[in-house]
Each structure stands twice: as structure tokens, then as C-alpha cells.
Chains A and B, each alone.
Chain A
């Protein structure tokens, strides 16, 4: 059902390369911040990512959606160089991640609930360590800025292990922003935050993106968040991108009122009306 539906021309189906992503960028189009071609990854006999193609423009916020095990984290892991693909190419900020990832790593960053920061170190110590790793000039100044922006001031001297999960998420975000990344990868950025804090973080990230013309690439299960923040949504299923477009395009195509309904339609193999 989904395969037949996916062939409709109005909403690009990634397997067809109908999104235009295969077209080389013209002279006037800025080079994409992220460009992925034919990306494949298998674990044993399980194909976690199955030949996906997409690109994300500079200053764009793109989201990768999908049920658990759809291939989102595997994809992000490959984009940031932690995981070597079986085949395909990844270009981030114009550099081939397979060959020149160290030219890029100082210009990108990651926040993910699957990794943690040392819990015996205070928030400030963690940020100092990563400030030095990223070669930041004025580390105390940058920590002060982040502490103000993410409301971490009173927590700076506390051991990370003594923080609540929400506070730890903010610390992880501060670490991810320490180098003012041009491309920010976020895996479930507001998963453990209360609605008020989550809302502030979304606002902050949107402002950051605008101020720095940064590209944000996130994986999320929070459809409201994706609708609010993202101009491009890609929905993964069984390792493939089965739908992509703006949230509004997807909602309109499926004749739904929210992205969550669209997500459920795709997850449950319900075709668009």
C-alpha cells in the first residue's frame, strides 16, 4: 500500500529520487550543508539503512522521523562519522565525511540521549573540557553565554550526575553548542524536558539557527516539535525514506490535520485518502 502511494508525484518518494536531490546544485544554489547519496548500512543480515538519498540546505532545519528501529540513529551516526557506511557517500559542509571528516568535526556537533557526559565532572568542568577539545578561544566567556541562554548558571558547579534528566539535557545541548556549530545534529533534543523548558529550548534553537545561519538536523518522535521547527521532514521506514516534504505538504497530501496523524498513517501502512 505504501509503495503504491509513495509513487504519487506530488509528494516526492525518495526511492525515485523525485525530490530533485540527484540534480547537481546549480551555480546560484548554495551547496547543501548535508548531502547524502546511496547511503547503506547493514548489521549482519539486517539492512538498517537502505540506500537513502537526501540533502539539507544551509540554514534549513530538517527532521528524520520514523518508528523505533527505522534507521534514524544509524543514519545520524553515519552523518557525524561515528559509524562507517557500507556504501554511499556523505558530504557535510562540502567535505567528504569518509575521507576528510576531521576538516568538518570542529564545525559540527551532536546532542543525543544515547551518549552522556562524565557524571563526576561538574557542568562547568565538562564544558571546559569540550571547549578545549574544540579549540574555543574564550572558554569562560562562551560558558557564561551558554549558561545564560540555557539557564544553566546555578548548575555550573554541580556534578553532572546530580542533575535531573532535564537539566542534563540542557547541559548536553550546551556542550553541543560550545563551538557554535554550523551543522547541529540533535537526537531527541527535548525528550526528557518538561513542556515549558522544551518550548524554551525550541525557541532558543530556532533563534540560534537564524542568528548563525546554522543547519539543524534532528531525529525526533515529537511531531509538534517537528512541525514547529522543521522546514523539511523525511520519514523513514525499514531503513528507507518513504516520504519527504514540508510538514504542511505531508499533512495536506494525507488529508490530515497534524503530522502525528501522517506519521501513524505511514507507520500503519494506511494510504492517503
Chain B
């Protein structure tokens, strides 16, 4: 293999190998620090413990919860998919800021969209590491298996991840543009979506004007869809289709914002100074 061969390979517009390199970089970080892996699973587990007991209590005091066994636990798990999906994306990006590595990456043949693909892959990996222990805990301690949702669970999972990626793209764009001062957005931004998504209650509970906002969120369709499966045993394909369509729109808009922020960073020299 000559340097000319590797240079020719580097010029390819899309290279799974480069995405793999970035995923490997993040896997090295996780592999080298067991506290980080524990941290990924810690909050979902604590949430599960708490909501598991709340569910147990409400099952005997609320007919709504009693009718829909596991509706709150299922909601907690799916909410974590959304939250962890976004966090997994944003934190992987922040790793580059913290280590002042962005300039090294973008002097290499790595394309910004390959970088995004690696962040998406890491979002999936980190979400699975974070949520699976909580899923097992729910089965063992509360006799509730989220897998009972059946095939729609796969759709719910990916629809929420997609929304997490869209939000992650916007957050990373803001961090790229305004620096590490904006990094706390990665942890708090998602909580603005939670009340509007109808995670623990139907969207109909919201004031009418707020319901309009809620129905603009793919997550609202997912959580309503989850309740439809649990309470009525029906799969709302219309909800799934609407959520998917909205996700495509949001990801397209978020990607445009991310790539615009990347260009602005190149124009203002932020890639060189970031993280300092």
C-alpha cells in the first residue's frame, strides 16, 4: 500500500472506513473508562426504580394506570430512548470539543456528513447501553417487559432516536457556533420537549393551543401510539407515518443548520480555537 493509494482512497466522497474510525475513537473512550459505561446506565436505572414503585402504587389507586399495566414504565423507557439518543449524539461531539481535536479531524479527509454518521452510530450504541439494563430491571422487578409492545416497539424506538438526532444536530450546531459556553444545552434542551410530548399523559390534557404545538412533535405521536397499543391493542399506523414524515422534515432542517454552522465556523476560524 503506497501513500498514493491511501491518498486516492482518502479522496473518496464517502468512506465507511472513516465513519468506522470515528466510531472506534468513541468506543476506545468508553472501553477505557468503566465509570463512563456505568454512568450511561445509571440514570435510566434510577428512573426505572422510581417509576416502577410509582406504577405499583398507582396501579392500586388509579383505574387508568390499572387498566394499562406498564403504561408509565413503558413511557419512562421510551422517554429515555429519546433523551439518551440526543445525549449520545451531542456528547460524542462534545468529546471532540473537550479534547480540542476538531481541527485534527477536519484537516483529515473526514467529511462533515461522515462525522455526523459516526455521531448517529454512537447515539444508537450509547442509547442501547443506557436503556437495556433498565429494560431488564423492569422485567425482573416489576414483571413488565417493554418487548410486549411487539413490533411497534421497533418503530417507536427508531422514531424517537431520529428526533433525538435532529435535536442533537441543532444543539451541536449551536455549540459549534457559540463554543463550550452552550454545552449545557446538551443536557437540558430535551426537557423542553418532554411536557409537550405527552410522555406520561395524553396530549388531550394540554390546553388546546398547546396541543397544536404538541402535534408538531413526532414524539407526541409515538407516546400516543404506545398508549394505543397498551390500552386498545391497536397499532396506529397513521401516527407512525406522521411521526416518520415529521422526523424527515426535522432532520433535513437540523442537518441544514448543522452544515451552515460548520461553514460559519470555517469562516470565523472557530474550528482552530474550539475547546480552548
* Neighbouring B residues of A107 by C-beta, 8 Å: 3, 7, 10
> A248 to chain B: closest CB distance in Å?
32
Residue from B20, B110, B272 within 8 A of A114 (CB atoms): B272
Judging by beta carbons under 8 Å apart, are A82 and B109 in contact? no
Mark A88-121 against chain B: 1 for CB-CB distance below 8 A, else 0: 0000000000000011011111101011111111
B104 touches A130 (CB 8 A): yes
- Chain A min CB distance to B72 (Å): 37
Chain B residues within an 8 Å CB radius of A74: 269
Q: Check A80 for interface membership: any CB of B closer than 8 A.
A: yes
- Interface: B148 (CB within 8 A): no
> CA separation between A108 and B18, bound complex, in Å?
17
Q: Within the assembled complex, what's the spacing in Å between the Cα atoms of A118 and B93?
A: 12
Contact A82 B271 (CB under 8 A): yes
Q: How far is the CA of A130 from the CA of B22 in the complex (A)?
A: 9
Which residue in chain B gives the minimum CB-CB distance to A86? B267
Question: B24 near A132 (CB under 8 angstroms)?
Answer: yes
A interface bracket (residues with beta carbon within 8 Å of B): 35 or more
Determine if A130 and B272 form an interchain contact, defined as CB atoms under 8 angstroms apart.
Answer: no
Stretch touching chain A among B26-34, B42-50, B51-59, B211-219: B26-34
Determine, out of A8-16, A25-33, A134-142, the stretch whose residues face the partner at the interface.
Answer: A134-142
A179 touches B100 (CB 8 A): no
Q: A136 to B95, Cβ gap below 8 A?
A: no
Contact B6 A136 (CB under 8 A): yes
Q: Which residues of B contact A133 (CB under 8 A)?
A: 18, 21-22, 105, 108-110
Which residues of A sit under 8 angstroms from B269, Cβ to Cβ?
A: 43, 74, 77, 82-83
Chain A residues within 8 Å of B267, by CB: 83-84
Cβ-defined contact, A114 with B103, below 8 A? yes
Kindly state the separation between the CA atoms of A119 and B105 in the bound complex, as whole angstroms.
15
Asked if B5 is an interface residue, CB under 8 A from chain A, the answer is yes
CB closest residue in chain A, given B269 = A83
- Quick check: B103 and A110 within 8 Å, CB to CB? yes
Which of A83, A108, A182 lies at the interface centre, i.e. has the most chain B CB atoms within 10 A of its CB? A83
A135 contacts which of B15, B33, B100, B275 (Cβ < 8 Å)? B15
A159 to chain B, nearest CB (A): 7
**A138 and B99 contact, CB distance less than 8 A:** no
- A81-B107 contact in complex given A102-B13, A179-B6, C-beta closer than 8 Å: yes
Asked if A129 is at the interface of the complex by the 8 Å CB criterion, the answer is yes
Roughly how many angstroms separate A217 CA and B99 CA in the complex, as a whole number?
25
CB-defined contacts of B103 to chain A, threshold 8 Å: 82, 110, 112, 114-115
Query: What's the minimum C-beta distance from A216 to chain B, rounded to whole angstroms?
Result: 15
Cβ-defined partner of A120 (8 Å) among B1, B29, B275: B29
Given the complex, which residues of B lie within 8 Å of A132, measured CB to CB? 17-18, 20-21, 24
For the complex, what is the distance from the CA of A136 to the CA of B6, rounded to whole Å? 5
The answer to whether B32 and A116 have CB atoms under 8 Å apart is: no
Per-residue CB contact flags for chain B residues 90-128 toward chain A (1 = under 8 Å, else 0) read 000001000111111111111100000000000000000
A73 contacts chain B at the CB level, 8 A cutoff: yes
Query: Which chain A residues numbered 133 to 153 have a C-beta less than 8 Å away from chain B?
Result: 133-138
Question: Which of B106, B109, B271, B273 is in CB contact (< 8 Å) with A106?
Answer: B109
Q: Within 8 Å of chain B (Cβ to Cβ): is A180?
A: yes
Known contacts A73-B272, A137-B5; is A121 also within 8 Å of B29 by CB? yes
A125 close to chain B: CB less than 8 A = yes
Closest chain A CB from B16 CB (angstroms)? 10
Residue among B13, B20, B101 with the most chain A CB within 10 A? B101
CB distance from A255 to the nearest CB of B (A): 38
Q: Which residues of B lie under 8 Å from residue A175 when comparing CB positions?
A: 104
A138-B272 in contact (CB<8A): no
Q: Which residues of B contact A117 (CB under 8 A)?
A: 99, 101, 104
Contacts from A to B (Cβ < 8 Å): 43, 73-74, 77, 80-84, 102-103, 105-110, 112, 114-122, 125, 128-130, 132-138, 159, 175, 179-180, 182
12 A-B pairs with C-beta separation under 8 A: A81-B107, A83-B266, A105-B10, A106-B10, A116-B99, A120-B99, A129-B25, A132-B24, A135-B5, A135-B7, A135-B17, A175-B104
5 extra interface residue pairs, beta carbon distance < 8 Å, beyond A83-B271, A180-B3: A77-B269, A81-B266, A115-B272, A137-B6, A179-B3
- Identify the B interface with A (CB < 8 A): 1, 3, 5-11, 13, 15, 17-18, 20-22, 24-25, 28-29, 32-33, 95, 99-111, 263, 266-269, 271-273, 275-276
4 closest A-B pairs by CB: A106-B10, A137-B1, A132-B21, A135-B9
